[in-house]
A = this chain, B = another copy of it.
Amino acid sequence: MAQEIERKFLLKNAQWRGLAEGVVYRQGYLCASPERTVRVRIVGDQGYLTVKGATLGMVRSEYEYTIPLADAREMLDTLCPQPQIEKKRYTIPYHGCIWEVDEFSGLNQGLVVAEIELTSEDQPFDRPEWIGREVTGEMRYYNAALCITPYTTWKPES
């Protein structure tokens, strides 16, 4: 089975900036339930259709297919509910691993998260100095959840 094993973190400071060029991502969801999501994504000139299963800890089944840009654009414009996700992704290598820092815009402006994809749940990895609190498993930080309850609408944490 295609699997995604991922850990997600907040950022402690802005020292990651300047380490990579940002690439614009646009994405929306044809369905977004806890059991499964179907995502339409545009990165540059490429469209993607991605099916993901329920998250069990840090593991999730994932099936990703490239699709024509025009199809992705039409599905985002006509089929995926609003609001959608707009973000810039910065891909930063660090000590043999790849960190993806997502800087959100639009209704999720102000939110920045970093993800690392692992090959097993217990794979050790070094944390860059700019990595903050781990939020793996916190549903509200999932992109599908950010479409429904965007970051700028969150109530201050008590």
Contacts and interface: CB of A to CB of B under 8 A. Distances in A.
A23 interface: no
A97 interface: no
Interface string A31-58: 1010110100000000001010100000
A74 to B, nearest CB: 6
A78 interface: yes
A98 interface: no
Query: Taking the full assembly, how many copies of this chain does it contain?
Result: 2
Nearest to A53: B79
Interface residues of A, number: 20
Interface stretch (A59-67, A105-113, A145-153): A59-67
Contact of A79 (B49, B61, B67, B75): B61
Contacts of A30: 30-31, 36, 38, 51
Contacts of A65: 49, 65, 67
Contacts of A75: 51, 63
Nearest to A29: B31
A158 to B, nearest CB: 35
A61 B74 contact: yes
Contacts of A36: 30-31, 79
A1 interface: yes
Contact of A49 (B2, B51, B78): B51
Interface of A: 1-2, 30-31, 33, 35-36, 38, 49, 51, 53, 61, 63, 65, 67, 71, 74-75, 78-79
